[in-house]
Amino acid sequence: MKIRISSSTTFDSIVDGPGLRMVIWTQGCIHNCKDCHNPQTHDICGGHEVEIDNIISNIKKLKLQRGITLSGGEPFLQPEALEVIAKEAKINNLDVWSYTGFTFEQLLDSRNPNRFKNLNLLKHIDVLVDGKFELDKKDFNLKFRGSSNQRVIDVVKSLKYKKVMLVEEYMQDNLFEAR
Ligand code: SF4
């Protein structure tokens, strides 16, 4: 199985979730957020394809990293390949974060033809940062998210209780908003 990625995997990110992380930059995005920082990732035919076995082999070699992060681009345009990758990360005791321009509710909406594929991927994700980047809500004080509409979601709890449950420690770090 192959996955389309935009650039080389990053192995030492400290801004895409807590701790040292490996980041997989998926290629292809349909959200067109104004002032997106990664416009080169939008073309669904851009980037290049790699065998997911190559990515899994890199995951197995990780030693210092706390987890992996699925970013892009829109990861949920390729849920099946990422499900295999995320599952392998969990087997290797890594936590899994993912970004998405969709909301959690949109991913699992009963009218969404991809909802079961999305659910299968979500089952292997610990934390989801959801929602489009909204320029008028951009805030440099936010941790791990670009605009205040985005949510840092505890996926395990949210699936268990069937409602969005936030990771409060990462939602309360906006000092200016809290005052
Ligand atoms: S979802 Fe992310 S990659 Fe896609 S347009 Fe928005 S900010 Fe850019």
Q: Which domain holds residue 16?
A: 2-178
48-51/127-130 β-pairing: unpaired
Cβ neighbour number for residue 95 with a 10 Å cutoff: 18
pTM comes to 0.94
Q: What is the pLDDT of residues 131-146, one digit of tens each?
A: 999 999 999 999 999 9
Regarding the beta carbon of 38 and ligand 1, being less than 6 Å apart is answered yes
Regarding the beta carbon of 31 and ligand 1, being less than 6 Å apart is answered yes
pLDDT at site 173? 59
Question: Does residue 46 have a pLDDT over 50?
Answer: yes
Question: Does residue 177 have a pLDDT over 50?
Answer: no
CATH code, 59 = 3.20.20.70
More confident of the two residues 4 and 8: 4
Regarding the beta carbon of 29 and ligand 1, being less than 6 Å apart is answered yes
pLDDT at site 179? 35
Count of structural domains within the chain: 1
Regarding the beta carbon of 101 and ligand 1, being less than 6 Å apart is answered yes
Question: Does residue 148 have a pLDDT over 60?
Answer: yes
**85 CA → ligand 1 middle, Å:** 21
